[in-house]
Structure 1
Amino acid sequence: MNTRYITYGDSYAASKAACDLLAVGVIAIYGPTDPNSADAVQAHCRAAGVPHIQATWRPPPLRDLEIPSPPGINLYPEAVALSEAVAVFIKDNDWNTYTLLYDDDEGLIRLQEILKYADPNDNWLVRRLKSGKDNRQLLKSLKVARHTRVILDCPSDRILEYLRQAHDVKFFEDYMSYVLMSLDAHTLDLQELRYGLSNVTCLRIFDHADSRTTAYHADWKARATSDIKIPRMTHEITVEAALASDAANLLTNSVETVPKDFKIEPESIECKSDAKWESGNIFTEHILTNPITGITGNILLDNSTGERKNFNVEIMELSNSGFNSIAKWNADTGFDYVRTATDVSDLLAEKWQNKTFRVASRIGAPYLVERVPKEGEVLTGNDRYEGYSKDLVNEILKETLHLNYEIIIVPDNGYGAYNKETKKWDGLIGYLIDRKADLAICDLTITYERRSAVDFTTPFMTLGISILYMKPTPPEPELFSFLKPFSVDVWIYMAAAFLLVSLLLHILARLAPNDWENPHPCDKSPEELENIWHIKNSCWLTVGSIMTQGSDILPKGYSTRWVCGMWWFFALIMCSSYTANLAAFLTNAAMDDSIKSAEDLAMQTKIKFGTVGGGSTYFFFKRSNVSTYQRMWTAMESARPPVFVKNNDEGVERVFKGKRQYAFLMESTAIEYQLERGCDFVQVGGLLDSKGYGIAMPFFSSYRTAVDNAVLKLAESGKLVELKNRWWKLPENATKKCVQQEVAEEGTSAAELGVDNVGGVFVVLGIGCGMAAGMGALEFLWHVKDVAIEQKMSQMDAFWAELSFALSFWETEKPVEHSRPSSSASGDMASRASSVLRSAVDLFNMDVFKKDSR
């Protein structure tokens, strides 16, 4: 082996060295690594027909440029394939916004190859660094523009310089990700930057733990201690050294595997002559078709271009212990990620051990409140606060991930809203964007607008918008509330009906002969009859009927029974109506007689309603396409005075002071908390939407997956439910605990029944009573006819005699009527016969006297 050392970049010296080697006689020339010098050497080798082997990055050949045959041999990975590996890696990691930095023309060419594989929707920026100069101003401007993902292409000896400058301007910190294009980046000693929080990734094309690599490394160290003069190495094998070893092995193997009839005899060739090595082309073709396995893996060459193909790329990531392999790539199989989720969590946990997470939040019960110190107690740090948010973040960071944290309260206590004038976010979202906090946790709703500014975990609580309203003031107890089922008119009509029916029954009973009964049932021939239907018994029957108790006396006449039947029908309907309506009055408190749902709010103007200004509920109504919600938004926006409030506490207070003239639209979880403690409040209607609370963090946070997994783990274990019950539910023995009642559904409220509701019953009763009166009249006239015939009187006399007796209400007994004597009787007997109708006693004495005279 004949070696020549030249100055890097001196193409003239490289040409002279190549001519010297060709003059001595060689079968192949390897090197140099400088592209310009390599082109000069390759030209001499091609002219002399001697194989030229190199191991340096070369730009892809132009499409229209014809490649000479045989081509030069290059063991360095093909430029296009190497760029594809980087492009696929950033796409797999969801990089859609990134910055490309380079410091020489070759770097720009490599970055252009990467951009060929980029998605058209990607947002990228290309900037050139000045080698050996101060680039802090450029890096600082990138930080201000919030560029967090960087692809850096430069020689390995300048990487540390650029990273130091980035660290000085805080462009090398948390949320930053760097991809180093140099294949020797993994050999650098980044001890001073190892404990930074930036994610640093690089590529290498061979495994340092491979047996061939370790053997070569040991042999190299042994040679380094000998007298042989070799270049000084770093603690790792560089790509240049590995490829040089592979080139030597390729040449040695090619010599050993040539056909037996082919003899390799080097010839001395002058550069200025036209002579060529006769075996050169054949030997070059043999090298191209002779695959071997070297330090950098299997070496396969393209016969037409001489470029290396089918190589492996290993993706390395910097951690506290140095660079670790995370994935492998091959042009045929693509990426194979070798790390498990546990490995990722362990490495990230190791990386974050020296980090104290800044957790931004806001004051608001029950999520976070300031603790009241006990006597003599001094509260510091996180102990100053308590609430659901603190317990949740403690479970995630401290108990699950074993990380430190501190709670920061945003000055304006706001959730975060975008200001179109300043084009900035405030509140919690602004803190995350400005990197003043690592996490934001509270009742922060995941919305489309916020999701476009920051990242969110899986929701730890689901909810919806509902209406908080005041309960109606319970009515004062009334002594005669049992009269409520009927209106006053109905009660008056019922009393009148009772008196009229009782009187009618009394009259009809006196007119009806069947209601005159034998007072002594054992006496078959009574001298007088009795009528029990005086006014007292008539009233007793009617009142007993309407009280559904009945009576031990019942009428027997057709008319009286008919009027009783009508009255019983009337009593049935009225009693049933009264019972049903009274039950509704007693069991239904009519909690809300004004609004039952959002539709009721939208359709009225008396009750004002509002939301937290600039919050998720505010934007829900503002952007909704539902007609009801649009109407509600118009009403809220045009209301004077304004109906929007600064926070939930102010909204709750306004509902309380509004005396049922203001309703507050807020999240159902907050309403649930208020209902547990405020006995004067009630939730109206169901949920208007469905959404969730999530933990917010800046984009590209390396701990996003770990925090998200911790939330899922807490949800599966039931810890989230336990935390919510701890801060929402009051203890059973709490003095302020309220028992909430369900709001009556629409259509179930009771109202007093008026005449219009029960007037038909009165009509039926009136018709029935009229029919009874008619039947009583017919029955009376028929009886008068019988009396006139029996007593041989005119019907008119009998009518007036019977009517006169019937209207003698004080008379309750009636003499039994007998047949009248013949015309031959004496005159005083005729006068006695007429007195029969006036007195039952006279009739009885007259009959005894007649028997005695006979």
Structure 2
Amino acid sequence: MSGPYEAVNTEEISPIPNSLKVRMRSQTDIKRDALKILRISQLLHMKVILVCSPRDQEQNLIHIMLEAAKEFHILDDDQNKLVLLDTAFFYEPLRELNMYRHGLYSARAEILAYRYTDEYSGYWDLTSAWEATAVDAVEVIKQAKRTYLDAVPPQSEQHYSLNLSNFLMALRSSSLSNGRTGQVMFDAKGNRKNFTLHLYRHGGNMELYNKEGMWSSVGTSFNDRLRLVETNDTSQQQSRGIFEGVVKVVVVVEEPFVILDKDRSGNDRFDGFTIDLLKALAEKLQMTYEIYQSPGNMYGAEANNGRWDGIVGEVVSGNATLGMGAISITSTREKVIDFSLGVITSGTNMLISKPKPKETELFQFMKPFSLPLWMAIVGASAVLSLLYFVMDYSNEERLFTVRETLWFSIGTLLMRGTDFSPRRTSQRILTAGFTFFVLITVSTYTANLAAFLTRRSLEVPINSLEELAETSNFQVGTVRNSATMSFFKNGDKNIYRTIWERVVDSDGLVSSSKEGKERSANGNFAFIFDYLINNYAEYTDCDTKMVGIPFRLQEHGIAMRQGASFKTRLNIALLQLKEAGKLAALKTKWWDNKRQCDLEAEKDQDPNFTLNLMAGVFIVGGFGLACSVAFFLFKKFYLLTKITAVKSNQKDKISIDEKKKSPSSDIPVDV
């Protein structure tokens, strides 16, 4: 098998080494020298670069060299090979370099690095080569102490005083067959011997990294010391995945991240965004998993005794390998567990009941003006009528009678005008002033009526935390022992402390977001929680509405124990899913496609005026019509009766007159 291992003994690596001085120098100067060396290697067509940095944790040289190699596009050439000699790569190669953040996982060039132990050595509790070395050193000292004391009689002076030369001999004779850094043995000079380093390869069009071989200090030749892994063994290792056995995954049931179906069993009970993500990761990382619900269905909060509950507690105790769901990445939680890269970005906002239309009053059209203002307008019209009548009273040909002055003021107020206009200068001045009064009054009424009707359909009681803090119409709540609760409880701003006091006073701590959503839908309850969860509630429960711009932006991640060896592989798998658009597709599936309420249609819908809203106008119109008909009938029948009576009187009068005019009867008279 050809490769960089054989190239060490060939002309592919320059026999002239280049050294970098790193002590008492800035990172900029070190990087400048690294760029010069790599530029020379390119000019000499060197395909293999060997980086030896035995104290890289202090010098950070390997990181600098890899960054410089990226700038010269050395990592883009699949013919190039970089060999990193640094035993600090103990647990997960290149983890200290944040290889997934710097894009090193996608390098086409082969990046080879050594580490003390195999990936499946079982030492999951260690996080660095320094820690592993310290553990082995303590074990060696304990073994040497026992050897030293066993060789000295209990009652002798040497038993109570240390003989340095004898103790050093005991140290050199100590050994560990399976230490944290592999086999530990020392030669006569105290140097370590018979140790093994495991060689792992990154890049080279490979998804993550694979074991290439083992280097042993025992041997007389290069081929004796480096034993390569056969291709079949590598394939078998790849198929094994990064986890041993069944992976325990603890979740919190929280729609739409995790949805529980009690009618099913096993992993089939769970569905949702997180479950689909877990399936995609399991397929990519070739793992078998078992899902169970978090005790108390909680994410995790620290108790007074320092113990954690919920997902965090399960991961810390080792009951679960992964914790998934809408669990926020916070600094407090990262003190006891590790998180993956952010899976999805969210924030915090409020969920309230959707404002319902107010009950329509019969005389809704009178709302823009108050009752005293209406009375003032009517009074002004009456006074105007009286003034017109008084000013025209002495005129023999006056037009402004009591009836006409009243009609003139009403017509002007309704902007309809009349068939006549005042002729006197005083009346015209009065008319001009009253017309201006009517213009302003009608314009103000029209504007207020439009604003009133618009506000009636679009009014939202609160739009921000500040408005929520100022109003007393809402109770305030959030989920108990959640990151949101901790945020307000430990907030350093007055507004956050005020909101927390409102939560306590309102007894607003709920056991789950489902309970918070139900209280919000019932009205007068502002549920402050995760933006994505509130967004899903607004989409599926048409009685609720999100308000406020999301604040406290945060990431949801995957929880794991501190120093987990699979963290880098898991992060790379997440990045690959993001780049492939899988996470965006899952978000569309579990949010946009689950929408049951047409929010956009509600926003764009034109306000419709119903009969109830205009009933008062119809009543006024009907009242006017009824009065006019009644007056018309009254006048008609009154005049008809009067005319009939007049005609009857006229007939009687004519009859009497005719009788008076008729000749008298002849009466004989004596002469």
When normalised by structure 1's length, the TM-score is: 0.46
Q: Select the residue among 447, 450, 468 that pairs with 2:333.
A: 450
How far off its partner does 1:492 sit? 1.4
Q: Deviations over 1:99-139 (max 9, x none)?
A: xx9xxxxxxxxxxxxx9x969xx98784225889x9xxxxx
Selected match of 2:513 from 648, 657, 664: 648
Q: Is the 8 A contact 1:319 1:347 kept in 2?
A: no
Query: Alignment partner for residue 381 of structure 1, among 250, 266, 275?
Result: 266
Corresponding residue for residue 127 of structure 1: 138
**How far is 1:471 from its partner?**
4.0
Counterpart residue type for residue 301 of structure 2: A
Verify: 1:370 aligned to 2:260, yes or no: yes
- Report the Cα offset of residue 738 of structure 1: 6.1
Shift in CA distance, 630/179, structure 1 to aligned 2, threshold 3 Å: farther
Instruction: Select 1:487's aligned residue among 370, 395, 398.
Output: 370
Equivalence for 2:481? 614
- What does residue 572 of structure 2 align with? 709
1:539 to 406, 410, 414: 406
Q: How far apart, CA to CA, are the structure 2 residues paired with 1:156 and 1:738?
A: 77
Structure 2 match to 1:396: 281
Instruction: Please say if 1:503 is aligned against 2:514.
Output: no
1:162 and 2:27 equivalent?
no
Q: How far did residue 444 of structure 1 move?
A: 0.4
Secondary structure of the equivalent of 2:510?
coil
Query: Which structure 2 residue ranges, 5 or more long, are not aligned?
Result: 1-51, 57-84, 98-115, 117-127, 147-170, 185-191, 199-209, 604-671
- 1:125–1:650 distance in 2 versus 1, CA, 3 Å: farther
Is the CA contact (8 Å cut-off) linking 1:180 and 1:203 kept in structure 2?
Answer: no
Q: Give, in whole Å, the separation in 2 of the partners of 1:180 and 1:427.
A: 39
Shift of 1:442: 0.6
In 2, Cα distance between the equivalents of 1:452 and 1:125? Answer: 26
The one-character-per-residue Cα deviations of 1:248-279 (angstroms, maximum 9, x if unpaired) are xxxxxxxxxxxxxxxxxxxxxxxxxxxxxxxx
2:274, 2:88 → 1: CA distance? 39
Q: State the distance in 1 between where 2:591 and 2:197 align.
A: 56
Q: 1:538 to 1:552 in 2, by over 3 A?
A: same
Q: Does the aligned pair in 1 maintain the 2:195–2:217 contact within 8 Å? A: no
Distance 1:187 1:457, change over 3 A: closer
Alpha-carbon distance in 1 for matches of 2:406, 2:136: 103
Q: Secondary structure of 1:389's match?
A: helix
Aligned-pair CA distance for 1:349: 5.3
Which deviations, in whole Å up to 9, do the C-alpha atoms of 1:258-306 show, x marking residues without a partner?
xxxxxxxxxxxxxxxxxxxxxxxxxxxxxxxxxxxx6489xxxxxxxxx
Paired AA for residue 408 in structure 1: Y
- Partner secondary structure for residue 509 of structure 2: coil
How far residue 691 of structure 1 moved from its aligned partner, in angstroms, is: 0.8
Change beyond 3 A, Cα 1:507–1:360: same
Counterpart of 2:550 in structure 1 is 687
Q: 1:386 to 1:584 in 2, by over 3 A?
A: same
Instruction: Give 1:711 deviation, angstroms.
Output: 2.5
d(CA) in 2 for partners of 1:432, 1:475: 51
1:665 aligns with 2:528: yes
CA spacing shift, 1:607–1:81, aligned 2, 3 Å: closer
**Superposition pairs of residues 129-208 of structure 1, within 5 angstroms:** 162=178, 178=181, 184-185=194-195, 204=215
How far 1:596 sits from its partner (Å)?
3.8
Q: Is the 8 A contact 2:338 2:559 kept in 1?
A: yes
Measure how far apart 1:698 and its partner are: 2.1
Aligned residues: 451
Are 1:628 and 2:495 an aligned pair? Answer: yes
Aligned to 1:411: 295
d(CA) in 2 for partners of 1:401 and 1:351? 6
Structure with the greater alpha carbon radius of gyration: 1
1:190-245 C-alpha deviation (Å, 9 max, x unpaired): xxxxxxxxx999973xxxxxxxxxxxxxxxxxxxxxxxxxxxxxxxxx74540xxx
- Cα deviation, 1:766-795, whole Å, max 9, x if unaligned, reads xxxxxxxxxxxxxxxxxxxxxxxxxxxxxx
**Shift of residue 676 of structure 1?**
1.8
Mapped to 2, the partners of 1:663 and 1:239 lie a distance apart of 67
Structure (1 or 2) with the greater helix fraction: 2
* Change in CA separation of 1:711 and 1:599 when aligned onto 2, cut-off 3 Å: same
Q: Which amino acid aligns with 2:279?
A: N
Cα deviation, residue 372, structure 1: 6.2
Of 580, 584, 596, which residue of structure 2 is paired with 1:721? 584
Whether the 8 Å CA contact 1:471–1:592 is kept in 2: the answer is no
1:590 to 1:82, Cα distance in 2 relative to 1, 3 A: closer
Structure 1 residues 472 and 457 mapped into 2: Cα distance closer, same or farther (>3 Å)?
same
Q: CA deviation at 1:670?
A: 1.6
Contact between 2:345 and 2:553, CA under 8 Å: does it hold in 1? yes
1:602 correspondence with 2:486: no
Instruction: Give the conservation status (yes or no) of the 8 Å contact 1:387–1:727.
Output: yes
How far the C-alpha of 1:627 sits from its partner, in A, is 1.8
Shift of 1:501: 1.3
Aligned CA distance change for structure 1 residues 716 and 482 (closer, same or farther; 3 Å): farther
Q: Secondary structure of 2:249's match? A: strand
Q: Deviations over 1:348-400 (max 9, x none)?
A: 55444874433221222222222365xxxxx44322221111112112222x4
Structure 2 residue aligned with 1:554, among 412, 421, 424? 421
Q: CA deviation at 1:187?
A: 10
**Partner SS, residue 464 of structure 1:** strand
How far residue 321 of structure 1 moved from its aligned partner, in angstroms, is 6.0
Question: Structure 1 pair 118/364, CA: closer, same or farther in 2 (3 Å)?
Answer: closer
- What SS is found at the alignment partner of 1:629? helix
The Cα offsets for residues 458-502 of structure 1, whole Å up to 9 and x where unpaired, read as 222222222222345532112210010111111112112122212
After superposition, what is the alpha-carbon deviation per residue over 1:513-551, rounded to whole angstroms, capped at 9, x for unaligned?
xxx8xxxxxxxxxxxxx5443344433333232223333
Does residue 358 of structure 1 match 2:248? yes
Tell me the SS of whatever aligns to 1:360: strand
Query: How far apart are 1:616 and its partner, in Å?
Result: 0.4
Q: 1:705 to 1:548 in 2, by over 3 A?
A: farther
**Structure 1 residues 625 and 319, CA gap change in structure 2 (3 angstroms):** farther
Question: What is the deviation of 1:418?
Answer: 2.1
Q: What residue is the counterpart of 1:424 in the other structure?
A: 307
User: Where do 1:587-598 residues align within 5 Å?
Assistant: 587-589=454-456, 595-598=462-465
- What is the distance in 2 between the residues matched to 1:623 and 1:353? 38
Q: Distance in 1 between matches of 2:228 and 2:381?
A: 99
Counterpart of 1:609, as a letter, is V
Counterpart of 1:554, as a letter, is S
Distance 1:475 1:440, change over 3 A: same
Identify if the C-alpha distance between structure 1 residues 604 and 125 changes in structure 2 by more than 3 Å, giving closer, same or farther. farther
- Classify 1:738/1:387 alpha carbon distance in 2 versus 1 (closer, same or farther; 3 Å): same
Matched position secondary structure for 1:574: helix
Task: Give yes or no for contact 1:417–1:615 (8 Å, CA) kept in 2.
Answer: yes
Alpha carbons of 1:361 and 1:465: their partners in 2 closer, same or farther (altered >3 Å)? Answer: same
Asked if the contact 1:602/1:632 (under 8 Å) is kept, the reply is: yes
Normalising to structure 2: TM-score of the pair?
0.58
8 Å Cα contact 1:178/1:201 also seen in 2: no
In 1, Cα distance between equivalents of 2:134 and 2:386: 100
CA distance in 2, matches of 1:380, 1:666: 30
Are residues 1:675 and 2:576 paired? no
